[in-house]
Chain A
Amino acid sequence: MLYREAGQFKSTYAEDQQIFPIRQDRIGVLLFIAFAFVGVPLVANQYWFAAILTPFLIFSLAALGLNILTGYAGQLSLGTAAFMAVGAFMAYNFELRIPGMPILVSFALAGLCAALVGIVFGLPSLRIKGFYLAVATLACQFFVLWALQRFGWFSNYSSSGVITAGTIEIFGYRFETAAQKYLLTLAIVSVMALAAKNLMRSETGRAFMAVRDMDVAAEVIGIPMMKTKLLAFAISSFYCGVAGALYAFCYLGTVEPEAFNLDLSFRILFMIIIGGVGTILGSFLGAAFITLLPIFLNVLFGGISSFFQVEISHAWLSNIELIIFGGLIVFFLIVEPHGLARLWQIGKEKLRLWPFPH
């Protein structure tokens, strides 16, 4: 009744081409973004900003990057963390070596560097597919970390290979507190997420999906294979690179190459699998699931054991958290193999018919 596009007539091309063609969606997204920018800073405290929201947004962006490549263009990749590492280290180097470099330009250039690395390691995708491609991108994961650790230049010859992000300043305004860093991250992530949403409706996005669904057929109808696949790698790596730069500058401050290990690549892959492959929303839902659920379980069990005054050994608690977390992943994959985003979509379809189902 409420969620229905009946009666919304589009009389101009601009109206027809909006990112969110349904008015309710538009209002909903606007309200949500307004809430994230205004409402959240009013209620959240530093713990929420620094430990929950900022990492959530950064991982969402990385998952979004991988989703463009794997979900939309169908190229399986295990090099996500490596692209993030390129972004983090290059942003650090741009800031360090070029005096007066604006931070946003550094982020963008760092993303472009990651995109270049992505193109190079995307070349095998022209010949191989599926799991074999995943193995080829695995090489990227190991090579990039190896290079960052072996060549002192990347970490400015720090003895331990660790980089420390400088201060963030945009037009003389310093981003120092957790809330300011959250807002900066949120702004970048919202712009990039909307851009991705838009891109996937464009010719490029449609070409990605055509390649994903059947590359031979796509080639026959005139989609250039090399350009499309490499573009997917470039855009995806760009997103991951910016996520990596944000990880270093807005979240941890100090990072070592080891932080971007294969574990992180897998975690991001799990995010899109759980969230929903080939959806923008799924990247956010998956990131929320993977990063926030363990923390929630930890807090919950801590609360339970002290509320009931039960004597539970902490080692046991820590292990049970992992077990439950793993169990939930299996549960969701069985119940909804298309990810959490699909649940949302089903919900929307139901809402359209409500209250008069056929």
Chain B
Amino acid sequence: MKRKHPVLALTAAAALGYAGLAASQAKEQFVPANFYWVGPYAPGGSGISGGMLDYFKLINNRDGGVNGVKFTWEKCETEYNNARGVECYERSKKKGPTGATLIHPLSTGITYSLIEKGTQDKIPIVSVGYGRTDAADGRIFPYVFPMITTYWSQNTAKIKFMGQKAGGMDKLKGKKIVNLYHDSAYGKETIPVLDAQAKKYGFQVTHIAVPHPGNEQQAQWLQIRQIQPDWVILRGWGVMNPTALKAAQRAGFPRDKIIGVWWSGAEEDVIPAGDAAKGYIAAGFNVSGANYPVIKDIQKYVYAKGEGEMEDKSRVGSIYYNRGVVFAIVTVEAVRKAQERFGKGQPMTGEQVRWGLENLSMDDGYLKKLGATGFMQPLKLSCMDHEGGGQVKFQQWDGKQWKVITDWISSDQSIVRPMIEASAAQYAKEKGITPRDCSKEK
């Protein structure tokens, strides 16, 4: 831990569960940093954590917090393990003057484990670009925010991208697409939406599972070679991605016909594959690069003072780092929005921040003020729609860095939304939840 707060010292000392009393009156907004710094997924966890905490430091140093309320945090190692994630959540939820503001579980599995607990404790579960897709239906999941772009939306954008490349969506008829997925809840999320799209556009889709952790893919790529698909969708995570790219090279499959999800599209996923990664395309809801005003400000106000989180400074501006910054921007702006309604300069509770998230609206002008134009997409959430964006940019790896090759490509909500509502309705039925009436929300 680099940054010290009196609150932190006290809460950590009392970490066995009696925390939170120490700072009952401080004007601070506590955000748990429950990420992972060890294990196969450490590059993602450490990069995102660095970006998020650096942005909080920027807000604290440059603006003195949000209307004077400074951000505090505490790190907890989840090891990408559900049980540890729940333990970290329970440990962190009562800290700070108002408890946890919201939580970024940073693992689809942990998100699932927290949905009920967060709803009960009135702490928003914000899963930006992962988590349970059908939770975008805010009537049934009031405290869950699968924000910016869900897997299903992202998937329709990918098919759109393929359609653009083919010269029109009607040209997709008869094409063959292979969905190579990590055999977990995360990997399997897009199967139904792909099947629905295959029916609509008339392409063939073959789903091929790669068992966790995915460092053995010979059989899968043999099968792909037999199918000879036009595209391969790579839904990998961690070590599975470079392995897939290397196996593709060995199988002689062109890498510029492989499209990865954003958890397959970071520098850490392609550099280990070396040459094999050249030309590989990945979707992203955030882009890489340090050439944005918001990243420059972080360097000026945080790293220039020697307070930066990243030990390896070259990772500032990488995909994962920037994703962490996006997480933080969403968090900070939700708090700001909540303060507008519930009292400026006051720490917000989870319940109030939930309102802030639900009423968050960030257009181009708003992003410009944040210095994040082109860095992330405009967002508008509502009681009905907890996703709010649904756009994707595609980037291609040129052997040295990610190059953005498209503008924001929007998703096909005419396919996604009915599926979300149907799936959420099934959940509501199983759990006996009565959906909220959105017209009565203020």
Contacts and interface: CB of A to CB of B under 8 A. Distances in A.
A joins B in a complex: yes
Interface of A: 45-48, 50-52, 55, 96, 149, 156, 158-162, 164, 166-167, 176, 251-256, 258-259, 261, 291, 294-295, 298-299, 302-303, 305-307, 309, 311-315, 317-319, 321-322
B189 A298 contact: no
Nearest to A316: B37
Given A47-B91, A161-B188, A303-B13, A254 B115 contact: yes
Nearest to B121: A46
Contact of B86 (A51, A176, A319, A321): A51
Nearest to A95: B430
A49 to B, nearest CB: 9
B189 A159 contact: yes
8 contacts: A159-B189, A160-B108, A166-B430, A252-B112, A253-B115, A298-B77, A299-B15, A309-B4
A251 B427 CA distance: 19
Given A159-B188, A253-B115, A306 B12 contact: yes
B1 A50 contact: no
A47 B117 CA distance: 12
B412 interface: no
B17 A161 contact: no
Contact of A318 (B12, B13, B37): B37
A45 B86 CA distance: 15
B82 A252 contact: yes
B431 interface: yes
Contact of A45 (B9, B17, B83, B133): B17
| Max chain A C-beta neighbours (<10 A), residue from B36, B83, B84, B212 | B83
Contacts of B377: none
Contacts of B4: 306, 309
B223 interface: no
Contacts of A254: 112-113, 115-116
Nearest to A59: B83
Contact of B75 (A166, A307, A314): A314
Contacts of B2: 311, 313
A313 B184 CA distance: 31
Given A166-B430, A315-B37, A303 B112 contact: no
Contacts of B108: 160
A315 B46 contact: yes
B271 to A, nearest CB: 19
Interface residues of B, number: 58
B64 to A, nearest CB: 23
Nearest to A258: B184
Interface in B419-442: 423, 426-427, 430-432
Given A48-B17, A318-B36, 8 more contacts: A160-B189, A162-B112, A253-B115, A302-B74, A303-B12, A313-B2, A314-B1, A315-B46
A45 B18 contact: yes
A51 B88 CA distance: 8
Interface string B21-51: 0000000000000001110001000100100
B166 to A, nearest CB: 27
B305 to A, nearest CB: 14
| Max chain A C-beta neighbours (<10 A), residue from B38, B46, B94, B133 | B38
A46 B189 contact: no
Contacts of A149: 183, 188
Interface of A is mostly: helix
Nearest to A297: B77
Contacts of B212: 258, 261
Contacts of A55: 83, 86-87
Nearest to A96: B430
| Max chain B C-beta neighbours (<10 A), residue from A252, A255, A317 | A252
B192 interface: yes
B76 A51 contact: no
A160 B132 contact: yes
A322 B38 contact: yes
Interface string B184-197: 11101101100000
Contacts of A156: 426, 430
B18 A258 contact: no
Contact of A161 (B1, B75, B185): B185
A178 to B, nearest CB: 8
Given A50-B90, A164-B430, A318-B77, A302 B12 contact: yes
B168 to A, nearest CB: 29
B181 to A, nearest CB: 11
B214 interface: no
Contacts of B184: 256, 258
B13 A252 contact: no
B304 interface: no
Interface in B104-136: 108-109, 112-113, 115-117, 120, 132-134
A315 B109 contact: no
Contacts of A309: 4, 9
Given A51-B86, A314-B75, A306 B109 contact: no
Nearest to A247: B83
A253 B84 contact: no
B1 A305 contact: yes
A85 to B, nearest CB: 13
Interface string B352-390: 000000000000000000000000000000000000000
A256 B189 CA distance: 12
Contacts of A96: 430
A38 B15 CA distance: 24
Nearest to B77: A318
A156 B15 CA distance: 40
Contacts of A299: 12, 15-16, 91
A253 B431 CA distance: 11
Contacts of B185: 160-162, 256, 258
B277 interface: no
B416 interface: no
Contacts of A48: 17
Contacts of A161: 185, 188
A321 B132 contact: no
B183 A315 contact: no
B115 A307 contact: no
A45 B189 CA distance: 36
Contacts of B87: 51-52, 55, 295
A302 B38 CA distance: 16
A162 to B, nearest CB: 5
B266 interface: no
A160 B187 CA distance: 8
Contacts of B86: 50-51, 55, 251-252
A298 B12 CA distance: 10
Given A164-B430, A306-B9, A259 B84 contact: no
